[in-house]
Amino acid sequence: MLHSKKVSQRWCWLFLLFSFSASAQEPVLSLKELLDSVNAHAPALLADSAAVSIKEAQEVVARNNRLPNLKLNYQTDLGTNNNMPGGYFSYGIVPGNSRVRTEGNGSSILSDLGIVAFDWEFYNFGGFEAQRKAARSDVNVEKAKFQQSKFQWQTYTISAYLQLMRLADLLDIQSQNIQRTTEIRRSIQALAKSGIIAGVDTSMAEAEISRARLNYLELSNQLQQIQLQLSSISGIRAGRIQPDTALDARLASYFSAAALQETDTAHHPVIALYKSLYQNSLDKEALIRKSYYPKLSLQGAIWGRGASVSAADEFRPLVKGLGFERGNYLVGVGVTYNIFDNKRKNLQLGVQRASTDLVQKELYEQQVQLSLNISQADTELQTAQSRLEEIPHLLTAAQAAYRQKLSLYKNGLTNLVDLNAALTMLYRAETEYTNANYQYCKAVFQKAMNENVVDTLLNTIK
């Protein structure tokens, strides 16, 4: 039964290896293709794009604020006409009643009224233009936020893609490590049968193989998790997201510091966002100032009236109140200005100017931070390049040491502990070489992102 269990485990392991090798046979997906798909399908970017559309719609509303008003009104009313002289403030709730009689009369009358009223604020000393500019500025801010969001998702996607490259290389290293430990186990079995070494070495070799397989499974899980994350934001099937593991070699071969000399930090998404916020605050200052300027308006009205009471104060049948008997018109130009608005304007301007000052300082802070990030990226890139130049010496020495120890062990001239130490050294050297490649690629793209030239870099190495 123990033998059948071991056979079953081996078949499961072979099936797992076959599954991973099948996924590895998927065509590679370039970083540029992945970035394009993320830009088109990321749910967060779709939401941000909708927010831009809302601001654009609001801008259209602002552009049409200067349209005139033309109102139509018609009413038929039944009631008494029993007024008294004296002034009052109606507050919009006291009905009109035009006739004053020497004696009260509670008889009901029917009247109707039709009005066509025109009202147009045709000039307000730049107020309409200030509204339009503020609305346009709001659109620019939302677009800048959208671009910053794209930049953040670009940064996330590049980082995840580089992790996929690293994990793919580590899986390959782990697969080679499994092959080496399997080869060692076969050598141990042969030496144990011949009586050269003790059989306990076989158990130790089995333990090493099992540990290597567990490491392989853990790395495979990490790789699949990242594939799923990228799939959720790109719309690409997870198994289709196979990294281009030759990207690091192309970077090392074709990239140089001179390739990114033409930086574009002035249009960096973060800087562009704060510049748009600063301009938006300035536009709101102008809007506050101009919203309190005098307003010139053109007004006109035409109306007709009818009533069941005649001009001679005769109470006629109610049906006589339907239909217009008299008509009038009125046209005028007016100016409106509230003298006490000057105080309100100054108070609001003080608040908005404080906001402008805050955004200006935040812009300066981001510019300083970006300059620091660029300097740190340059230093990190230099260190990564030096590390990448040194690692091959370590890898060559570790490979030679392993081959020597394996040869000595096969001839019974060393023990399994020394051989495992050489194997571990080789595994670490290969892992460090992969990590050095990863750190180099990460430093290159970090420099490109800080200098806002990722597209230039991708076009250079494609």
DSSP conformation letters of 229-277: HHHHHH-S-GGG----TTHHHHHHHH--GGGG-S--GGG-HHHHHHHHH
- 337 phi-psi bin (left φ>0, alpha ψ -120 to 50, beta other): beta
Domain 27-62+128-285+343-461 of CATH type 3.30.70.1380: no
What HEC string does 114-182 produce?
A: EEEEEEEEEECCCHHHHHHHHHHHHHHHHHHHHHHHHHHHHHHHHHHHHHHHHHHHHHHHHHHHHHHHH
Q: Which helix (H) or strand (E) holds 7?
A: helix 2-24
Average pLDDT along the chain, 462 residues, taken 10 residues at a time: 44 47 69 95 95 96 93 92 78 73 82 95 93 96 96 96 96 94 86 70 84 94 96 95 89 62 82 97 96 94 91 85 91 93 91 96 96 94 91 93 90 85 94 94 93 87 75
Q: Please give the pLDDT value at position 214.
A: 95
What dihedral do alpha carbons 206, 209, 215, 216 form, nearest 10°? -140
Structural domain boundaries of the chain? Answer: 27-62+128-285+343-461, 66-86+101-123+295-336
- What pTM does this model have? 0.84
Q: DSSP letter at 293?
A: S
What HEC string does 387-430 produce?
A: HHHHHHHHHHHHHHHHHHHHHHHHCCCCCHHHHHHHHHHHHHHH
Q: Please give the pLDDT value at position 201.
A: 74
For the domain spanning 66-86+101-123+295-336, the CATH number is 2.20.200
Q: Please give the pLDDT value at position 8.
A: 45
Q: Please give the pLDDT value at position 3.
A: 46
Q: Rg for the chain (alpha carbons), in Å? A: 41
- Using an 8 Å Cβ cutoff, are 36 and 98 in contact? no
- Using an 8 Å Cβ cutoff, are 122 and 128 in contact? no
Q: How many CA atoms lie within 13 A of 446 on its CB side?
A: 22
